[in-house]
A and B are shown apart, each in its own frame.
Chain A
Amino acid sequence: VHLVESGGGLVKPGGSLRLSCVASGFTFSDYSMNWVRQTPGGGLEWIAHISDNSHYIYYLDSVKGRFTISRDYAKNSLLLQMNSLGIEDTGIYYCVRGVVSFGVKFDTWGQGTLVTVSS
């Protein structure tokens, strides 16, 4: 089971970025997926969730209307389109698999991709 993120980089405030996460080693369409970011201060912040069939999508309030989570089943990929980026969006972005088991456990994490928003 493997998740590999890409697409991070340096972007100016107000800019956009598109993150990708390629999944392998499991049936991608059977699992919900999430994006979690780690802030420069070290804290973890859940950003967005998408269900296995893409029918249920949830966002952190501070990214609602700016970020869009989606799935490309043909490419076994999780995507995060980020628009109107602010300095507060700087961080390491992790792609995370969610498994339903007496609740939901985040059992697999990618290595993360760094997003830096700076002028």
Chain B
Amino acid sequence: AIQMTQSPSSLSASVGDRITITCRASQHIKNYLGWYQQGPGKAPKLLIYATSILERGVPSRFSGSGSGIDFTLTISSLQPEDFATYYCLQDYDYPRTFGQGTRVEVK
């Protein structure tokens, strides 16, 4: 199975900060990677798919990049509603695998 290593596991930031979360695949997955946001007590929500395509309705402060093995989620200016946990997910092969998650907390 493809392993997805996500870092950091948590980070503290302030409103307005630019933050970056990374995901590394254990093998090449082309651009078959998505990012999901999960607020407390809520189901995950799709933010980005195919590495860099923003899901409809997702604010443009979210962006994704990368290819092959290394991928990045960037939030350009953190907003109060962005404090949540973020997961990457590879859809290159089965079993689908998620990163361990990154919890974004208030500094």
Contacts and interface: CB of A to CB of B under 8 A. Distances in A.
Given A101-B49, A105-B91, A43 B43 contact: no
Size range of the chain A interface in the assembly: 20 to 34
B46 A46 contact: no
A49 interface: yes
B96 A103 contact: no
B94 A58 contact: yes
Given A36-B44, A58-B95, A59-B95, 18 more contacts: A42-B85, A43-B100, A44-B44, A44-B89, A44-B101, A45-B98, A46-B98, A49-B94, A58-B94, A101-B49, A101-B50, A103-B32, A103-B33, A104-B32, A105-B50, A107-B49, A109-B45, A112-B43
B55 interface: yes
Nearest to A99: B49
- Chain B, interface size category, equals 20 to 34
A42 B6 CA distance: 14
27 contacts: A36-B44, A42-B101, A43-B98, A43-B100, A44-B36, A44-B44, A44-B87, A44-B89, A45-B98, A46-B89, A49-B94, A58-B95, A59-B95, A60-B95, A61-B1, A61-B95, A94-B44, A102-B53, A104-B32, A104-B91, A105-B49, A105-B50, A105-B55, A106-B34, A106-B89, A109-B43, A109-B44
Interface string A26-42: 00000000101000001
